[in-house]
Structure 1
Amino acid sequence: MVTLGLSRVNDTVAAKHPGLREYATCQSNAFMKGIFTLVTGSCVTFGLQMFIQRKFPYPFQWSLLVAVVTGSMASYGVTRMESQKCSNLWLFLETGKLPKDIGTDPRS
């Protein structure tokens, strides 16, 4: 049995997909970057709002709401971008070819 994080993968499945461990590592790193971005983005936004609140007073709960929403949006963007890189890695490891660049296709 091959262990990926907390789950176990059968040896036959792991043998069919030799890049499984690299993909799982990449995806784990993507999620950790997303969590780090959520915390950092929320804290930075909250700090900036505390600075701005000195000049323009407004209720405290709006500061928390805006900080969490901003951190969540930044986290979503980072996690999505990193997960796309992991998908491209998985395709490369499975097929040996890089996925086509969508931006260069004249039909898209």
Structure 2
Amino acid sequence: MVNLGLSRVDDAVAAKHPGLEEYAACQSNAFMKGVFTFVTGTGVTFGLQLFIKRKFAYPVQWSLLVSAIVGSVASYKVTKTESQKCRDLWIFLETGQLPKDMNTDHHN
């Protein structure tokens, strides 16, 4: 059986899709990179703001809000990019073709 998160996939479905385990591992890795990016992006942004705060005085809650927003945007972009790589991997594992090969324009 293949585990996807907390749920298990039936053996018949796993046999029908041999790349399912690799795809699940790729997606898990993409989400972990997103979480790591959020934590580090928020921390670095907050640290930079504390350093800049010496010149410009503004309340700490704005530093936290801006840091969380910057961390969220960075995390979204990283997760989106990594998830696209996983989708491309899934298409390759299922069809044997890269998505770029399937979308080529033959009218040139």
Same fold, TM-score > 0.5, yes or no:
yes
Matched, 1:22 2:22: yes
CA distance in 2, matches of 1:56, 1:3: 51
1:7 — aligned with what?
Answer: 7
CA distance in 1, matches of 2:74, 2:2: 34
Q: Which runs of 4+ in 1 moved over 4 A?
A: none
Shift of 1:53: 0.3
Shift of 1:48: 0.2
- Could you tell me the TM-score, scaled by structure 1's length? 0.91
Shift of 1:4: 3.0
| Alignment-mate amino acid for residue 95 of structure 2 | T
2:73 — aligned with what?
Answer: 73
- Give % identity: 76
Secondary structure (helix, strand or coil) at the match of 2:99 reads coil
- Could you tell me the TM-score, scaled by structure 2's length? 0.91
1:91 — aligned with what?
Answer: 91
| Alignment-mate amino acid for residue 18 of structure 2 | P
Q: Which stretches in structure 2 are left out of the alignment for 5+ residues?
A: none
Which aligned pairs between 1:45-84 and structure 2 lie closer than 5 A? Answer: 45-84=45-84
CA distance in 2, matches of 1:36, 1:89: 22
Q: Which stretches in structure 1 are left out of the alignment for 5+ residues?
A: none
CA-based RMSD: 1.6
